[in-house]
Amino acid sequence: MGHEAKGSLASLLKRKGLIESLSAGAQTDQRYSASFEISMSLTRQGLDSLSQVLDLVFQYLRLLRNAGALEWVWQESADLAGLHWRFQEKRDPSSLVVNLASNLQLYPPKYVVSAPYTYETYDPDMISRVLEMLTPARADIFVASRDYVSQVNLHEAIYGTPYSVAAIDAQTIKRWELSAADPALSLVRPNAFVPRDLKLFKPSKDAVRLGKSAIPIKLVEKSGVRLWYKQDVDFKGKNWNAKPRINVIFQITSPSADVTARASILSSLFSMLYIDSLVETTYDATAAGLSWSFAPSGDGMRLSVAGYHDKVMELLNTVTKPLVSCLKANRQCDWANQQRYLAIKDELRRGLDNTNKQPPYTRAVQRLSQFLEKRVWSVDRLLYELSLPDLTLDVVAAHARVLFDRVFIEGFVHGNADETFARKCIDALVVNLGSFPLPESDRDLQQIARLTRGFTFAEAHTNSDDPNHALELYVQYPETGLKWDVCAALFGAIAAEPCFDQLRTKEQLGYIVSCRARPMQGSFPPTVVGFAVLVQSSFKDPPQLEASARSFLDGFVGNLSHMPKEKFGEHKVSLLAQIEEKEVSMGEETARLWKEILIKRYQWDRKERLAAALASIDLPQLATFARTLVDVPRHSLSVGIYGQGRDPPRELLAPGDVRERIWSMASFKGLPPPYWGLELPASPASAGQHKQMR
């Protein structure tokens, strides 16, 4: 029921423009019974055509009942469950123990770990009995929409939620039971993405040596392309065993991806349309333990493919061959479907609308980032671009053509692969894109504003019904470097608990209180060092919240140098433990190494560098750093969000406050503010060598 390949219920409902998504499965939260649930997110057209949606649901259920038990489906499910069991990653202990506790309600203790993966005996009679229960007469149907506000007559006792209940007439149930299946509906087919070759590549001597040091190899460096590679090998002290899995990530840098707000929206629409067009093709891969993603990222688009190495190359070709081939051949693209375009455009609009309804503290965090990052677009601006009538499907296609005209590709292949396999991955993408090379520096680089004085900004929350106000006070250190990165992290770790105690426990400002290091990163190093206090409150407005935040910082920094040495040492030991914490899965190692590649830092020994810098910091040095850091009038930005339907006052700054008020993002960006310079590594293979870019 939850399948999304061609012939599935989800596929047909999407093609008819009736749903955005569908999921199905057993619910076992009742100890002595279970239910089978099918959940759908309806489009506007789907809500208006609810009867048609339900007709197709029961037609597909009838198709399944008529087919009866299919042994090959059971066997394929058993094979996939066995693969997931055999090659699962280590899980977070807290989520694992919650899952096991839940399973204890369903299974005998000896099966509590393995039961979700276990298919013991094929029992066609039992399968048929369950299928025979999935009938219209046994169905409860829940529909939720704001459209029903004026049509309901009951209220839930605890929360007062309005609702109504009505019986389904016998004639409708009979129609659902007897109606013939739509010709477009069919049973699932065998999954071609189920992996068969599960062998591990034999590690080379270099792979073992570099595996222990966690240093990727630069395999390819040529015009427009750079590829990093690391084979996952076993060695003593490693926290996971090598598996026949691989992670492949590409950053496709394009100067037209988000150079304007309109370009940003077009890139989002294109990626959503493209993914949607391949759901039927790639759903089997997802079911077989593979995954892929394609989305706007920083200065371009990011494409990733992961899973069992046996099928990764097939999936990579599946998701990259159609990217631009249709455009280059001047033919209709499969993703250029007008009906799906309208549905996805509406989905994106509603997603952006919901962003504006998030809590005030989330809005404050977003707005601060938008002010500091050189090239970033507000939700309101993106919604405006999305609302323009000339934003047509043809315009999206034209943008896609330009998007991949000139690109710089940087990739990382990590896992069960040899160098030949890794080269094939980058070659496949390069061939399928057919783009001209883009010089790495030939683009509008993302930079972070350099605060040379204090600024403050305030606005009304876009959700006037929210009763809370919020403030984020950000202070920026006037220098960059590894030492200051560590000082900020240590200061944040030391300040976190006293900050919460003062602002949350003693002053009781609200439940959302945090003091933390807030590093920011442009297209290239260095990291911009900063610290932020974030507070949300229902009874104090942003100026009052800022007064509390500044009072805490002034008092805390003033007393920092008097901290007992033993206490300071404990904080250093705690931070060192965080820095040196070992990864417990290949995915965690991929994420750490990819971050170094993505931000062009290439410090594979980043942990060792941080640990060494931390060891050299003493309390007087940290106290001096903190006094410079929290000089609010000199290098800070305060963002206040007014809730309760209130607007900021005309006179926001108190007499004597020398900071500058920002009236709008356009006025701030239009100055423009000075930006931190960027350092492009002269050779990514060697750390510590940089050339200055301005």
SS3 call for 409: strand
DSSP label of 418? -
What gap in Å lies between CA 116 and CA 94, rounded to an integer?
Answer: 18
Query: To the nearest whole number, what is the mean pLDDT of the chain?
Result: 92
Which whole-number Å values give the CA distances from 498 to 271, 492, 505, 543, 553, in the listed order?
44, 10, 10, 21, 10
Tokens of residue 20, six digits: 């955005």
Q: Are strands 406-415 and 436-437 parallel, antiparallel or unpaired?
A: parallel
Instruction: Give the model's confidence band at 212: pLDDT under 50 very low, under 70 low, under 90 confident, else very high.
Output: low
pLDDT at 445: 80
pLDDT at 183 exceeding the cut of 50: yes
Mean pLDDT of 109-113: 92
pLDDT at 694 exceeding the cut of 50: no
pLDDT at 354 exceeding the cut of 90: yes
pLDDT at 454: 96
Minimal CA–CA distance to 406: which of 331, 299, 274? Answer: 299
Residue pair 484/622 in contact (Cβ under 8 Å)? The answer is: no
What gap in Å lies between CA 417 and CA 207, rounded to an integer?
Answer: 11
Q: 295 in the Ramachandran plot: left (φ > 0), alpha (ψ -120 to 50) or beta?
A: beta
Least confident of 52-66, 145-159, 420-434: 145-159
Vertex 79: Cα angle to 77 and 84 (nearest 5): 95
* C-beta neighbour count of 282 within 10 angstroms: 21
The H or E element containing residue 455 is strand 454-460
Mean pLDDT of 479-497: 97
Residue pair 439/665 in contact (Cβ under 8 Å)? The answer is: no
pTM over 0.75: yes
pLDDT at 487 exceeding the cut of 60: yes
What gap in Å lies between CA 127 and CA 118, rounded to an integer?
Answer: 16
Tokens of residue 481, six digits: 């470097």
Q: 462 vs 298, which has greater pLDDT?
A: 462
SS3 call for 642: strand
Instruction: Please report, rounded to a whole number, the percentage of residues in the chain having pLDDT higher than 70.
Output: 96
Mean pLDDT of 329-348: 91
* C-beta neighbour count of 404 within 10 angstroms: 22
pLDDT at 260 exceeding the cut of 70: yes
pLDDT at 271 exceeding the cut of 80: yes
Tokens of residue 232, six digits: 């996952």
pLDDT at 105 exceeding the cut of 90: no
> Phi and psi dihedrals of 558, rounded to 5?
-65, -30
The H or E element containing residue 464 is none
The H or E element containing residue 538 is none
pLDDT at 210: 61
pLDDT at 136 exceeding the cut of 50: yes
What are 50-71's pLDDT values in tens digits?
999 999 999 999 999 999 999 9
CA 257 to the chain's CA centroid: 18
Bridge partners of residue 36, in order along the sequence? 26
First to last CA, the chain: 56
Task: Give counts: helices (H), strands (E), the chain.
Answer: 24, 19
The answer for residues whose C-beta is within 8 angstroms of residue 269's C-beta and 6 or more apart is 341, 344, 345, 348, 396
Residue type, 463: N
pLDDT at 666: 87
Could you identify the residue written with the tokens 């010709």?
183
Half-sphere exposure of 504 (CA within 13 A, CB side): 15
Minimal CA–CA distance to 317: which of 344, 295, 338, 290? Answer: 290
Residue pair 37/24 in contact (Cβ under 8 Å)? The answer is: yes
Minimal CA–CA distance to 486: which of 629, 613, 630, 603? Answer: 613
Q: Is 283 exposed, middle or buried (0-12, 13-18, 19+ CB in 10 A)?
A: buried
pLDDT at 691 exceeding the cut of 50: no
The answer for residues whose C-beta is within 8 angstroms of residue 64's C-beta and 6 or more apart is 1, 131, 134, 187
Residue pair 152/162 in contact (Cβ under 8 Å)? The answer is: yes
Residue pair 456/604 in contact (Cβ under 8 Å)? The answer is: no
* DSSP secondary structure of 211-234: HHHT--EEEEEETTEEEEEEE---
Tokens of residue 227, six digits: 């590829």
pLDDT at 211: 57
pLDDT at 687: 36
**Domains within the chain, CATH numbers bracketed:** 9-178 (3.30.830.10), 205-437 (3.30.830.10), 454-693 (3.30.830.10)
Instruction: Give the model's confidence band at 439: pLDDT under 50 very low, under 70 low, under 90 confident, else very high.
Output: confident
pLDDT at 576 exceeding the cut of 50: yes
Residue pair 289/309 in contact (Cβ under 8 Å)? The answer is: no
pLDDT at 682: 61
What gap in Å lies between CA 530 and CA 485, rounded to an integer?
Answer: 9
SS3 call for 248: strand
Range of 523-527, 581-585, 611-615 with top mean pLDDT: 611-615
